[in-house]
Amino acid sequence: MTYLDHAATTPMLPEAIEAMTAELGVLGNPSSLHAMGRRARRVVEESREIIADAFGARPSEVVFTSGGTEADNLAIKGVYWARRAADPSRTRILAGAAEHHAVLDTVAWLAEHEGARVDWIPVDGLGRVEPDALRELIGPDVALVTVMWANNEVGTVQPIADLAAIAREHGVPFHTDAVQAAGHLPVGLHSSGADAVTLSGHKLGGPLGVGALLLGKGVDPVPVLHGGGQERDVRSGTLDTPAIAGFAAAVQAAVARQEPEAERLAGLRDRLIEAVLANVPDAILNGDPSHRLPGNAHFSFPGCEGDALLMLLDARGIACSTGSACSAGVSQPSHVLLAMGADPARARGSLRFSLGHTSTDDDVKALAQAIGPVVERGRRAGLS
C-alpha cells in the first residue's frame, strides 16, 4: 500500500510505541494518592513538561484532552461562555471561513444554541486569511477569534503571529487549531501571541485519542466537561497515562528532527507536484504554492469527481483523501475550496496527497504511474 494520507493520521513513531507500551501494563490512576497513583502522576507531569517545552509553553498551560476536536470545543465554547459572562455584549465570534469542521461546527452550534453572532473571516484564492480582513471585522463585541495555523485540506500556512497581534490589540482572546502544523512547523504558544493552541497526538506520530489545549495563563474557559476537576478544573476526567506518555514521546521526537524532516518532505512534495502536473497537465494545485505544509499537495482535476478518483487510486493500492463531504450518498463540494472562490465542480473534483515520516520516493513514483490513467478513467466515467 502506498500511503499518501498522513494528514488524516500518521503511523506512530517507534519512540511513541515504546513509551506507550511501557505504560500499558502498569497500574495506577494519576489522581490517586498512593504510590502507584503517584508514579502515574509523575509520568503525566514529566510528559506535560516535555510538551510544554516543545511548544513554548509553561507546564501549567498544557491541558490534556482526548484529541483535537475536544480541545477546539473547550477553547471555543469555554472562552465564549467566559467572555459573555464577563460582558453580555461580547457575543460575536470571528472564525476563518476555511476552518476544520471541529471549529466550524462548534461555532455554528454556539450560534444556534447560545446566541452567538458569527462573522466568517474570508480567505483569498490561496486559502489565506489576510490580517486586514480580520482588522475590518474585529470590535469590542467580539468574544474570541479562531483561525487555524495551517489548513488541513490545501496546506496553506496562516500568518498566525500577525493575526494574534491584531486580536491582542483589541483585547480579544485568539485561538488557533495547530493540529496539522504541530510537528511540521515551529509552533509556539507564547512566540505566536496566541492565547490557546490545539494539538492532537495522532497527527504527529503519537497515539489516537489524546491531544492537548495549550491554554495561556489568565485564560480561564468555562468547562465543557464536569467531574473530578482534573486539568486546572477545566477538563475533568481520568487521564490516560499510557496515551499521554506516547504523545509526549512523539512530540519530543518530531520536534527534535523537525527541520531536516520538513526539508525532506518538502522535497518529496515538490517531486510529487511535478509528477502529477507532468501526467495531468490541466490539474490545478490548490493552496499557497510556497507558504504551505511541507507534506501537503492538494489538486483539483477538471472533469472528475474526487470520490471516484479516490476509489480508483485505492483499487491500485494508493491511499489519499478528498476534501469533499458525502451526505446521503451525494458528494458535497469542499467548503475550503468554495471559500477560496472555486466553483462547485472544481471543489468536488479534488484530492489531497499528504506525506509523513514513512514516505519515500517510491510513494511518489507509484502515484506518478497511476495518476494519469486514473484521471483518464475518471473523466470517461463522468461523461458516460
Catalytic residues: 326
Phi-psi region of 164 (alpha: psi -120 to 50; beta: other; left: phi over 0): alpha
- Eight-state DSSP code of residue 201: G
- Could you count the other beta carbons within 10 Å of the beta carbon of residue 326? 10
Phi-psi region of 382 (alpha: psi -120 to 50; beta: other; left: phi over 0): alpha
Q: Do residues 182 and 55 make contact, with C-beta atoms less than 8 angstroms apart?
A: yes
Overall size of the chain counted in residues: 384
Measured distance CA(110)–CA(144) in Å, rounded: 12
Coil vs helix vs strand at 161 = helix
Q: Do residues 126 and 288 make contact, with C-beta atoms less than 8 angstroms apart?
A: yes
Q: Do residues 287 and 354 make contact, with C-beta atoms less than 8 angstroms apart?
A: no
Measured distance CA(160)–CA(187) in Å, rounded: 10
State the cell numbers at 80.
465564549
What's the order of all strands across the beta sheet hosting 284-286? 284-286, 296-300, 350-354
Helices (H), 55-148: 68-86, 101-113, 131-137
Q: What are phi and psi of 357, to 5 degrees?
A: -70, -15
Q: Do residues 7 and 201 make contact, with C-beta atoms less than 8 angstroms apart?
A: no
Q: Do residues 15 and 253 make contact, with C-beta atoms less than 8 angstroms apart?
A: yes
